[in-house]
Amino acid sequence: MLKSARAVPPGRIIRRELESRGWTQKELAEIMGRPASKISPIIRGTKGITPRTALELAEAFGTSADVWVNLEARYRLSLAERTVAREAIARRAFLFQVLPVSEIVKRGWITDSHDLDELEASICTLLGVDSREEIPTLAASFRGSKAEEANTAALLAWCHRAKQAVEKQEVGSFSLNRFRQQAVAGVLQLADSTEKLDKIQEVLAKCGVRFIILPHLSRTYLDGAAFEVNSQPAIALTLRYDRIDSFWFTLMHELAHIYAGHEGEFLDRDVELSNGSHEETEANSLAAEWLLPAKSFKAFVARSRPYFSRARIEEFSVGIGRHPGIVLGRLHKEGEVPYKNLRPLLISVSGHLAQSMAT
């Protein structure tokens, strides 16, 4: 009796039986009383073996009909399993293409699961969408530098995670007038020393603004964002450039969006270079003026040019209540000091923001 050890096409078994007997397909068709055109598709596997065909093959080859019925069933089931496996690979490949899945799992934003339906559901929850079909796949134009194309889904994932991270923070009520009178001045009082950085969250919370540090995801190229949570403003920074000058300019840039009453969400990339919209230009101008008042800074540059020694920078910084790294960052940006000079002043800030760090 013929028996299949694995899911092979029944047509292959029929072909072997024909070869062992020295029959042609036409002769098998004559034996079964069928046109040859009806046998060829069965051997090619494009047409299934029906119960009637199974009975006829059994008579022709001296087997039971069950052999052919079982061969056909196992083969079709195997084809279905392969299709399901290919679809699963395609679905998983799609997720890994549009999102840094391994990175998100490592951070604990979603639960790693071998069950693809569970993985998709977890990702959709993170992105705030209902199904895989709603996951954005195309890069979008976000505020800031166009030097690198941001991944839309990764940006969306980061933004949703940032909102989740800050929504439980307890903050005071928000008033735009009170914010303008107190928040900016209160934050700037902390700009002269890295030891005061962990107080920023407390100062902003009293003014009704949530604040966190949430590291950026791969392919987002994101510096910071301003958005609303529970109808109150929130700010999240990535520390993509973990330097004191970049940190302070990005922070003040996001505060400027709130101060100026800009509506909508702002996902900012390379904020010091952004010059596209009116909102970005205004936020840059306010941030620059708050950090280093133009009149004082121009006077300092005029009397120091062309030699900007560390001692001169530090003396000026003390006078205006700013960390010298903030001053040096502006001098670098405006080409007054080569980027390679005085780099030790551009210290890292991540180690001084433990209270504000989110994962």
The pLDDT tens digits of the residues spanning 185-242 come to: 999 999 999 999 999 999 999 999 999 999 999 888 899 999 999 899 999 999 999 9
pLDDT digits (tens, 9 = 90+) for 230-279: 899 999 999 999 999 999 999 999 999 999 999 988 888 877 665 568 99
pLDDT at 148: 62
Both tokens of 327, joined, read 């001053």
Does the pLDDT of residue 34 top 50, yes or no?
yes
Query: Quick one: what percent of the chain has pLDDT higher than 90?
Result: 70
Average pLDDT over every residue of 145-156 = 72
Is residue 146 scored above 70 in pLDDT? no
Rounded to 5°, angle at Cα 346 from 345 and 352: 105
All domains of the chain in start order, with CATH: 10-89 (1.10.260.40), 99-134 (no CATH), 152-356 (no CATH)
- Report the DSSP beta bridge partners of residue 237: 213, 224
Q: Please report the pLDDT score of residue 322 as a whole number.
A: 98
Question: Counting beta carbons within 10 angstroms of the beta carbon of residue 55, is it exposed (0 to 12), middle (13 to 18) or buried (19 or more)?
Answer: middle
Angle at 255 between CA 254 and CA 257, to 5 degrees: 65
Quick one: pLDDT at residue 132? 85
Q: Which whole number is the average pLDDT over 33-56?
A: 91
Which helix (H) or strand (E) segment holds residue 234: the answer is: strand 232-237
Q: Tens digits of per-residue pLDDT, 52-93?
A: 999 999 999 999 999 999 999 998 898 888 888 899 999 999
Among 103-112, 280-289, 298-307, the range scoring the smallest mean pLDDT is 103-112
pLDDT for the residue 274: 59
Q: Name the pLDDT band for 4 (thresholds 50, 70, 90).
A: very low
> Does residue 269 or residue 306 have the better pLDDT?
306
Long-range CB pairs of 306-311 (<8 Å, 24+ gap) are: 308/336, 308/337, 308/342, 310/342, 310/345
Best-predicted range by mean pLDDT among 95-99, 140-144, 169-173?
Answer: 169-173
Q: At what angle do helices 294-304 and 310-320 cross, to 10 degrees?
A: 160
Tokens for 192, please give them.
Answer: 């002269």
What are the angstrom distances between the C-alpha of 209 and each of 44, 171, 203, 228?
69, 7, 9, 9
211 membership: H or E segment, kind and range: strand 210-213
Tell me the pTM: 0.77
| pLDDT per residue as tens digits for the range 94-133 | 888 888 899 999 999 998 888 899 999 999 988 888 888 8
Average pLDDT, the chain: 90
Please report the pLDDT score of residue 137 as a whole number: 66
Q: Which long-range contacts (CB under 8 A, 24 or more apart) does 31-36 make?
A: 31/60, 32/56, 32/57, 32/60
Cβ neighbourhood burial of 217 (10 Å; 0-12, 13-18, 19+) = buried
pLDDT of amino acid 154: 86
d(CA 194, CA 185): 17
Contact 224, 145 (CB under 8 A): no
